[in-house]
With several copies, the nearest count.
Chain A
Amino acid sequence: MRVTFKRDWIHSWLLLLPAMVFLFAFTHIPAVTTFINSFYSTPRGRRPAKFIGLENYERLWDDPVFWKVMFNNLWFALGTIPLSIALSIAMALWVNDKLAGRSLVRMAYFTPTVLPLIAVANIWLFFYTPGFGLFDQVFGALFGWSSTNWLGDPATALNAVIVVTVWKEAGFFMIFYLAALQAIPVSLVEAARIEGASRWTIFWRITFPLLMPTTLFVSINAVINSFRLVDHIFILTDGGPDNASSLLLFYIYEVAFRFWETGYAATLTVALLLLLSALAIGQFFFFDRKVHYK
């Protein structure tokens, strides 16, 4: 057996080699460079980078915009993740059921995944525009509401962005739930029905727990996305008003590619990575007790 073992080792290393080369070249090495840069000042033309220890981190600690953006991002995550997951489960359940016009509905749910976010952001911009925008027209006609400046009011700007994000993500997650639902044996649901359980009970006591592994996967993805999806912010609000709708990655982008403070941007990136890893690991621990693996 020892012989075959060795052979397996070499095989697996060879199999992994190509992927690892690419991962190292385009993810890990740049990431390490970024980490190192976070301890240096930003090089500017005539002044080369110099080692400044934790200065960038001190600045980060004192940066009110960072904290604001951080808070925004938490709110954004809280707003998008549960909502998009709940919606995607509902969508998957509907589309999995015998529903009139099922394929049309499925198609509708899935369109946001296919449309480019930059283009779609312009459409949402129109929906949100006060006065002649679609929402104002519709709400005005239906409820007689006066015009609302969804994107221009700090109180609603971030929520408006959340709506777009949920719209974009739910259909994508639906696909994973759909696949998971297919894998649940029908007899489990039947057994529960025989025991007298209502649809609601069946969902909460059977279906939902059995979807847990998918929920774990989806929610990790959702967490990562909640820190990654910023394309639409450029067009919808540009982070405004007064950073009310700015998110961490958007801020990093601003610092790196508008302010050109690469040292500080690296520091922010490190903070983001730490946060994401903590969240991902935390999720694993949190879910691990509740997830039933086959």
Chain B
Amino acid sequence: MSDPLTGAHAGKAIRLENVSKLFGESRAVDDVSIEIPAGSFTVLLGPSGCGKSTTLRMIAGLEGTDEGRIFIGGDDVTGKPSSKRDISMVFQSYALFPHLSVAENIIFGLRVRKVDARERREKLARVADLLGLSELLERKPAQLSGGQQQRVALGRAIIGEKPVCLMDEPLSNLDAKLRHEMRVELRGLQQRLGFTMVYVTHDQVEAITMADQVVLLNAGRAEQAATPRDLYERPATPFAARFIGTPPMNLIPMSAIEPLQDMPTGLLLGVRPEALCLADDGGLSGTVRSVEYLGADTLADCEVSGSLFQVRLPGSRSVSTGEALRFTASTADLHVFDRLSGGRRDDLIPEIGSRLRPQ
């Protein structure tokens, strides 16, 4: 096929080596090292203020680094200006040029690089086609809906066929339906074109559905880098355990659970609401404190000897506050963390699992 936009531009790997960024006294990014394989879709995930944008902007060269080095495709780009890094970027606010038409917005970079008119036209046609923008090329950004603006920003980023594309919460201004559509579209595009994607979001659903690799950041530090499934199934820290999954994982000090009170202190037991199943007898017994009906599911907060466990039940199972429930979980769904070191204690899981088994 003669379409140069399809798989023609191979991605480049990105490496951050002990990168830090200070704003005044505070370390917005603190000694972060990340490996981003060429052609991968990597998501930087974390709560607001954890340094995701700052990290991304350092990769883009919009922000200088205070410590450490950054490599793109093996070249040290630490001191290079953005315009020399051969990357593209989509901003949260899209940063479309309001005075330029959609077409002019998309080919802005080509114009800057003095690509000749014929080539510009051809590429524009292809990109517009790909993104379904062909009808809108003459409009101004203000005349577009949010999703269409999003696509224009995307078009501007991919037309240059840069090996690396950076995105900072590109979907956060869209409504839920559109967000879902764009997720699928973005992921498809990246796979088709093969560039390296670094994608910032604080929305774990986005991260989990799109990423090859998720880098979880917390307070300026990299907490865990893993595939979405690993992150969900084997979160490395209590923070990761609570951050990934809605509703979040139940994380209870063992000292608060009767059968486990003689375990070493400082341990946390983790179990996801959806991993808890109702049992007729055995397991833990609790009282329903509050109920949230979600249609497909119902969430029940159950109190078990002073601690609250959240349990996900099918929407059709109606429960009411005050009701007594018994529930259990399979050993494979248990997580144990050491509160002090912050790490997993997988060695303890069989022991704990057996203790919680209905006697």
Contact = CB atoms under 8 A, between A and B. Distances in A.
Contacts of A206: 97
Interface in A1-59: 1-4, 7
Interface string B79-105: 101111001110111010111100000
B221 interface: no
B60 A197 contact: no
A10 B261 CA distance: 68
19 contacts: A185-B93, A187-B92, A188-B97, A191-B91, A191-B95, A191-B97, A192-B108, A193-B62, A194-B60, A194-B83, A194-B89, A195-B83, A195-B108, A195-B156, A198-B83, A205-B97, A205-B108, A205-B111, A209-B99
Nearest to A290: B99
Contact of A196 (B64, B83, B142): B83
A193 B95 contact: no
A98 B156 CA distance: 29
Given A1-B64, A187-B91, A193 B82 contact: yes
Q: Sort chain B's interface into a size bin.
A: 20 to 34
A192 B160 CA distance: 13
Interface string A171-207: 0000000000000010110111111111001000110
Nearest to B110: A195
Interface residues of A, number: 25
B51 to A, nearest CB: 17
A195 B97 contact: no
Given A197-B83, A197-B112, 11 more contacts: A7-B81, A185-B95, A190-B60, A192-B97, A192-B112, A194-B88, A196-B112, A196-B113, A210-B99, A292-B98, A292-B99
A198 B17 CA distance: 29
A195 B109 contact: yes
Nearest to B79: A3
Nearest to B58: A1
Contact of B81 (A191, A193, A205): A193
A96 to B, nearest CB: 18
Given A194-B60, A196-B112, A201-B112, A188 B79 contact: no
Nearest to B63: A1
Main secondary structure of the interface of A (DSSP, over half): helix
Contacts of B140: 292
Nearest to B66: A1
A258 interface: no
A273 B186 CA distance: 59
A192 B79 CA distance: 19
B54 interface: no
A4 B81 contact: yes
Contacts of A209: 99-100
A201 B84 CA distance: 15
B65 interface: yes
B275 to A, nearest CB: 42
B112 A190 contact: no
B160 A195 contact: yes
Nearest to B108: A195
A212 interface: yes
A294 B156 CA distance: 21
B82, B87, B156 interface centre (most CB from chain A within 10 Å): B82
Contacts of B79: 3-4
A7 B79 CA distance: 12
A103 to B, nearest CB: 21
A294 B141 CA distance: 10
Closest 6 CB pairs of A and B: A1-B64, A195-B109, A292-B99, A187-B95, A191-B95, A196-B83
B50 to A, nearest CB: 20
A190 B91 contact: yes
Interface in B273-331: none
A164 to B, nearest CB: 35
A212 B109 CA distance: 22
Given A187-B93, A194-B60, A194-B87, A294 B81 contact: no
